[in-house]
């Protein structure tokens, strides 16, 4: 059954302000612009679905100067479109309607239409996270900064009950980063605290293996993207030789064709891939990456890409629709002074959907 109604579609820009200077290997973030997309049936103002298009600065392929102009054009076209009014019909439509070059817009439309399809209740998919209060294990994220700031974050995450910590590395002196990892391991064994590190491509192919050898001494779970994306052969060699499991992250961005995705995974054969729907093409494309990874025996986990709680809610529900065993990267909802108030809560290293807490208006 196709939709037999016209859509009322709109968007608005929102600047998210960080609670602190968020350091990455690509620079320091103080704020982040995002765009909330609302979709309703024309004439039915009370029920709306919401999605979020939030390109990640200096990383998303749709982090472009004319992004808002492009989003506005898509919004105008969507009002008159007809498509199969079902979960799969919506995902298929969004995949063909929005170009691979605009993954965050595709994710926003998928989320908003699926929310509307389920009655405008912020339910995106059938999942136990939303409907059964099922929690998802998450990692605690340690942002780059000086040694004291990073150490403070580590201690806060441990006190908050996280059993998995992810530390961004590559911005300060490598020896100092090693000393921080040594500090954690001095007090907590690998059985007590799982440690992940994210290099964001900061190592060079010539020194990566040496650094991986030194990092492996701290019983780390994995390292994300040790070298910059696009060096396929070098990454394949690293995955084969590294004493530490490697997870691909930025490597997946901009790979839009199914055949190219499969070829990339077959050549590199990483132990893990990390999936950010905003960056890799949305919900349907994330599902495809998961299917390809599982076919090849590659592990995966989901990570948010600094979205507000609108996007984080959708990613959490997508995650919950799978039987995950690894901690996920879904702890970014508390980063902002002015996030959208929501039922999402983080306690003891887990994220929950608390139906007793109401959503604020986007």
Least reliable range by pLDDT among 21-25, 200-204, 292-296, 355-359: 21-25
b/e per residue 213-247 (b: at least 16 CB within 10 A):
eebeebebbbbbbbbbbebeebbbebbeebebbbb
- Token duo for residue 181: 């990892």
CATH classification for the domain delimited by 7-117, as one of 3.30.300.30, 3.20.20.30, 3.30.390.10, 3.30.379.10: 3.30.390.10
* pTM of the model as a whole: 0.95
Domains in the chain: boundaries: 7-117, 128-353
The pLDDT value recorded for residue 332 is 78
In this predicted structure, the answer to whether residue 21 has a pLDDT above a threshold of 80 is no
In this predicted structure, the answer to whether residue 169 has a pLDDT above a threshold of 80 is yes
Average pLDDT over residues 33-51: 95
Average pLDDT value for the chain: 94
Which homologous superfamily is 128-353 in? Enolase-like C-terminal domain (3.20.20.120)
In this predicted structure, the answer to whether residue 4 has a pLDDT above a threshold of 80 is no
- Least Cα distance to 266 among 289, 296, 234 occurs for 296
The pLDDT value recorded for residue 29 is 81
Least reliable range by pLDDT among 153-157, 275-279, 286-290: 153-157
The pLDDT value recorded for residue 26 is 65
What would you report as the CA-atom Rg of the chain, rounded to the nearest whole angstrom? 20
Burial of 4 (0-12, 13-18, 19+ CB in 10 A): exposed
b/e per residue 88-110 (b: at least 16 CB within 10 A):
ebbbebbbebbebebbbbbbbbb
**Locate tokens 């997309």: which residue?**
37
The pLDDT value recorded for residue 171 is 72
Cα angle 80, 82, 85 (rounded to 5 degrees) comes to 130
Model confidence at 187, in pLDDT bands (50, 70, 90)? Answer: confident
Coil, helix or strand at residue 337: coil
In this predicted structure, the answer to whether residue 304 has a pLDDT above a threshold of 90 is yes
Model confidence at 23, in pLDDT bands (50, 70, 90)? Answer: low
In the chain, the percentage of residues whose pLDDT exceeds 70 is: 98
pLDDT tens, residue by residue, 235-285: 999 999 999 999 999 999 999 999 999 999 999 999 999 999 999 999 999
Burial of 72 (0-12, 13-18, 19+ CB in 10 A): middle
In this predicted structure, the answer to whether residue 1 has a pLDDT above a threshold of 70 is no
Average pLDDT over residues 56-79: 96
Average pLDDT over residues 336-350: 95
Which residues belong to the active site?
A: 168, 276
pLDDT tens, residue by residue, 74-89: 999 999 899 999 999 9
pLDDT tens, residue by residue, 194-235: 999 999 899 999 999 999 999 999 999 999 999 999 999 999
């Amino acid at each position: 059954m196709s939709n037999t109604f016209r859509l009322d579609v709109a968007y608005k820009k929102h600047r998210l302000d960080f609670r602190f200077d968020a350091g990455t290997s690509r620079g320091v973030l103080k704020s982040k612009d995002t765009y909330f997309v609302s979709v309703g049936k024309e004439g039915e103002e009370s029920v709306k679905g919401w999605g979020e298009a939030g390109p990640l600065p200096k990383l998303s392929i749709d982090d472009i100067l004319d992004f808002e102009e492009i989003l506005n054009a898509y919004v105008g076209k969507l009002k008159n479109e007809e498509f199969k009014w079902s979960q799969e019909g919506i995902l298929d439509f969004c995949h063909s309607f929005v170009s691979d070059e605009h993954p965050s817009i595709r994710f926003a439309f998928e989320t908003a239409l699926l929310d509307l399809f389920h009655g405008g209740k912020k339910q995106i998919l059938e999942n136990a996270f939303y409907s059964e209060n099922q929690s998802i294990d998450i990692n605690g994220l340690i942002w780059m900064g000086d040694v004291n700031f990073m150490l403070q974050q580590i201690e806060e995450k441990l006190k908050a009950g996280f059993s998995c910590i992810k530390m961004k590395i590559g911005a300060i002196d490598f020896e100092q980063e090693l000393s921080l990892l040594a500090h954690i391991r001095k007090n907590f064994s690998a059985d007590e605290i799982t440690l992940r590190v994210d290099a964001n491509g900061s190592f060079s192919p010539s020194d990566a293996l040496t650094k991986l050898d030194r990092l492996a001494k701290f019983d780390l779970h994995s390292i994300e993207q040790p070298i910059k994306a696009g060096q396929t052969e070098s990454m394949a060699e690293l995955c084969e030789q590294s004493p530490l499991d490697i997870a691909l992250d930025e490597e997946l961005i901009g790979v839009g064709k199914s055949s190219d995705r499969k070829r990339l995974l077959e050549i590199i054969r990483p132990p893990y891939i990390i999936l950010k729907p905003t960056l890799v093409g949305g919900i349907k494309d994330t599902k495809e990456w998961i299917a390809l990874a599982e076919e090849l025996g590659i592990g995966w986990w989901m990570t948010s890409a600094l979205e507000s709680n609108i996007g984080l809610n959708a990613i959490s529900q997508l995650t919950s629709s799978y039987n995950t065993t690894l901690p996920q990267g879904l702890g970014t909802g508390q980063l902002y002074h002015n996030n959208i108030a929501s039922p999402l809560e983080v306690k003891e290293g887990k994220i929950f959907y608390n139906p007793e807490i109401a959503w604020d208006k986007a």
